[in-house]
C-alpha cells in the first residue's frame, strides 16, 4: 500500500521543470555569493589567459550592461516591473502549454530560473552581480552570470522549438 496518492503525469513533468528553474536559481545565487565574498568590486582573476577571467561587476543596467549609464530613480522601477511582468507571462504560458513539449518547457524553465535570479539581485542590491568575463582576440564581451547563461540557453531552446513547429506545420498538407 502506497502512502502517496498516484501523481498525474503532468504533475511529475511540471515538478521536473520547476526543479530545473530552482536549480538555476540556486546555482546562480550561490556563485554570485561566492564572488561577492571572495572578490572586491572590479577585481579580476585570470582563468584562461587572453580568453576567460572572473571579474566582479555590479551591473545596474539591463542585460549585458544596457542602460547602466542611465542615472534615474525610475530605472530600477522599470527594470523590476518588466522582470515581474515577463515572469508572470512566461509562467502563465508554461502552465497553459503542454507538459509534454519538453524543449519548450525546458526553455521556459531555464529562462524563468535565470530571470528570478537576476530579479532577486535587483531587489536585494539594486544591481545584478556579473562575473563571467570573456574576450577573444582583444574583443571583450560584457561580463555576465549563470542566470544570464540560463536565459540565453532557454531562449535558444524556445527558438529551436519555434523552428520545429514551423517545419511541422509546413510538412502537413493544407486542409481543403
Q: Which residues are catalytic?
A: 130, 148
Q: How far apart are CA 99 and CA 62, in angstroms?
A: 31
Is the distance from CB of 113 to CB of 24 less than 8 angstroms? Answer: yes
| Number of Cβ atoms within 10 Å of the Cβ of 11 | 11
Beta strands across the sheet bearing 44-48: 44-48, 52-59, 128-136, 139-140
List all residues 6 or more positions away from 65 whose beta carbon is below 8 Å from its beta carbon.
Answer: 59, 142, 143
Amino acid at each position: 500500500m502506497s502512502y502517496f496518492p498516484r501523481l498525474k503525469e503532468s504533475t511529475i513533468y511540471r515538478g521536473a521543470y520547476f526543479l530545473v528553474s530552482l536549480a538555476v536559481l540556486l546555482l546562480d545565487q550561490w556563485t554570485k555569493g561566492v564572488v561577492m565574498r571572495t572578490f572586491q568590486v572590479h577585481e579580476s582573476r585570470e582563468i584562461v589567459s587572453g580568453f576567460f577571467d572572473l571579474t566582479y561587476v555590479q551591473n545596474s543596467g539591463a542585460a549585458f550592461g544596457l542602460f547602466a549609464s542611465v542615472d534615474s530613480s525610475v530605472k530600477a522601477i522599470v527594470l523590476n516591473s518588466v522582470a515581474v511582468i515577463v515572469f508572470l507571462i512566461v509562467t502563465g504560458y508554461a502552465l497553459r502549454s503542454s507538459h509534454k513539449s519538453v524543449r519548450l518547457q525546458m526553455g521556459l524553465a531555464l529562462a524563468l530560473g535565470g530571470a528570478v535570479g537576476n530579479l532577486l539581485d535587483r531587489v536585494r542590491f539594486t544591481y545584478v552581480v556579473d562575473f563571467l568575463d570573456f574576450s577573444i582576440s582583444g574583443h571583450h564581451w560584457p561580463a555576465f552570470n549563470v542566470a544570464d547563461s540560463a536565459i540565453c540557453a532557454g531562449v535558444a531552446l524556445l527558438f529551436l522549438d519555434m523552428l520545429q513547429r514551423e517545419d511541422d506545420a509546413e510538412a502537413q498538407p493544407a486542409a481543403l
